[in-house]
Amino acid sequence: MIPIADKYSTFARFYDAMSGEYPVYRAGRKIGINMLRQRPGAQVLDVGCGTGLNFSLLQGQVTPGGTIIGIDRSPEMLVQARRRAERNGWTNIILIQADATAVSPTDIGSRIAAEGGRAQSDAVLATYALSLMKDWEAAWTTMVSLAAPGASLCVVDMQKPVGLATVLTPLAKTACWLGGSDIDAHPWTAAERDCADVLAASARGGHLQIRAGTRRAGT
């Protein structure tokens, strides 16, 4: 069994094809990114960015003049993200290798600044990433610190389906198990707890949960 830490590195090249993006997971990222409501020129930080599946949707909001920063623990996933940027001719993407649960926001902020970005972003999101971090609360604290006051914060993640869709629970559990996610982690509850003006949505029979809000002053 490949440890979770290495899983994404081992399968980075196949992630896009294996991730169930179009039938299932794209729906959640689309809703979450719409909720960010960013404008051209904005800087967005994508925590656990993986191969950069959020980037084209984010470009739709921040271009022209904006910046996308992707942080991921896996160098191999970042190679795929860099290839995506090169393929599309995107020159406004900064990629940083870091463990979001262990790095200090000051360190990340200065690494972003060294690459020409601002230490704090106008929006910070994590899609399908927090539920596979054991200490996702630490990553959430980092996300909040790297959001400018009044910035948008968004979490898109997974739970067991609800209602009629509970018949799909074994499928959802298998997908999370394969990806190393804890289907019972429910990391969007941190956004409900810590943000103002929280927007909530779900998709795919409740399997995808989306929360977005703004960073409260003084947090």
Ligand X SMILES: C[S@@+](CC[C@H](N)C(=O)[O-])C[C@H]1O[C@@H](n2cnc3c(N)ncnc32)[C@H](O)[C@@H]1O
According to the binding rule CB under 6 A, does residue 8 interact with ligand X?
yes
Number of residue whose CB is nearest ligand X? 50
Nearest 10 degrees: Cα torsion 103, 107, 108, 112:
-160
In the complex with ligand X, the residue whose CB is nearer, 21 or 194, is: 21
- Per-residue contact string for residues 16-55; x = within reach of ligand X by CB under 6 A: -------------x------------------xxx--xx-
According to the binding rule CB under 6 A, does residue 206 interact with ligand X?
no
Stretch that binds ligand X, among 33-41, 87-95, 108-116, 124-132 (CB under 6 A): 124-132
Judged by CB under 6 A, the residue of 34, 101, 141, 145 near ligand X is 101
* Number of chain residues interacting with ligand X (CB under 6 A): 21
Judged by CB under 6 A, the residue of 62, 73, 123, 176 near ligand X is 73
* SS3 labels along the chain: CCCHHHHHHHCHHHHHHHCCHHHHHHHHHHHHHHHHCCCCCCEEEEECCCCCCCHHHHHHHHCCCCEEEEEECCHHHHHHHHHHHHHHCCCCEEEEECCCCCCCHHHHHHHHHHCCCCCCEEEEEEECCHHHCCCHHHHHHHHHHCEEEEEEEEEEEECCCCHHHHHHHHHHHHHHHHHCCCCCCCCCHHHHHHEEEEEEEEECCCCEEEEEEEECCCC
CB of 192 to ligand X, least distance (A): 20
Judged by CB under 6 A, the residue of 85, 95, 123, 133 near ligand X is 133
CB of 53 to ligand X, least distance (A): 4
In the complex with ligand X, the residue whose CB is nearer, 128 or 206, is: 128
According to the binding rule CB under 6 A, does residue 77 interact with ligand X?
yes
Contact residues for ligand X, defined by CB under 6 A = 8, 29, 48-50, 53-54, 71-74, 77, 99-101, 127-129, 132-133, 179
